[in-house]
Amino acid sequence: MDNQDRFKQAYRCIPFSKSKNSDLEFGDKILMPVSALHELMKRETPYPWLFQIKKYYNPVRVSHCGVLEFTAEEGSIVVPDWMMENLNLQQGELVMVENALLPAGKYLKLQPHSTRFIQLSNPKAVLEKNLRNFSCLSTGDTLMITHNDEKFFINILETKPGPAICLIGTDCEADFSSPLDYKEPDKVEQNAPAEIEKKENEERTVFRPFMGKGRRLDGEPVEMVKDDNLSTTTTTTGGCAGGSTTTLGSRKKRGTLVFGSKGIETKTPKRSSDGDDLEVEEKQVQKFQPFMGKKNVLGKRSL
Give the separation between CA 169 and CA 172, rounded to whole angstroms.
Answer: 10
Give the separation between CA 115 and CA 2, rounded to whole angstroms.
Answer: 46
pLDDT band at 29 (very low <50, low <70, confident <90, very high): very high
Query: 147 with 126: CB under 8 angstroms?
Result: yes
- More confident site: 292 or 111: 111
Give the separation between CA 209 and CA 173, rounded to whole angstroms.
Answer: 66
- More confident site: 292 or 55: 55
Note if the bond before 193 is cis, omega within 30 degrees.
no
Instruction: List the single range of 12-26, 37-51, 61-75, 219-233 with lowest mean pLDDT.
Output: 219-233
Share of the chain above pLDDT 70, in %: 60
Instruction: Please compute the mean of the pLDDT values over residues 68-93 and round it to a whole number.
Output: 93
pLDDT of residue 236: 45
Average pLDDT over the chain, rounded to an integer: 76
Closest alpha carbon to 140 in 63, 66, 207, 43: 63
| Statement: residue 205 has pLDDT above 90 | no
| Statement: residue 247 has pLDDT above 60 | no
Q: What is the pLDDT of residues 30-77, one digit of tens each?
A: 999 999 999 999 999 998 999 999 999 988 899 999 999 999 999 999
| Statement: residue 131 has pLDDT above 80 | yes
Closest alpha carbon to 50 in 131, 166, 145: 166
Closest alpha carbon to 24 in 133, 168, 128: 133
Give the separation between CA 237 and CA 84, rounded to whole angstroms.
Answer: 93
Instruction: Please compute the mean of the pLDDT values over residues 220-230 and round it to a whole number.
Output: 56
Q: What is the pTM of this model?
A: 0.59
pLDDT of residue 104: 94
Q: What is the pLDDT of residues 158-188, one digit of tens each?
A: 999 999 999 998 888 888 898 988 887 765 5
pLDDT of residue 197: 74
- More confident site: 225 or 28: 28
Instruction: Please compute the mean of the pLDDT values over residues 124-139 and round it to a whole number.
Output: 90
pLDDT of residue 105: 94
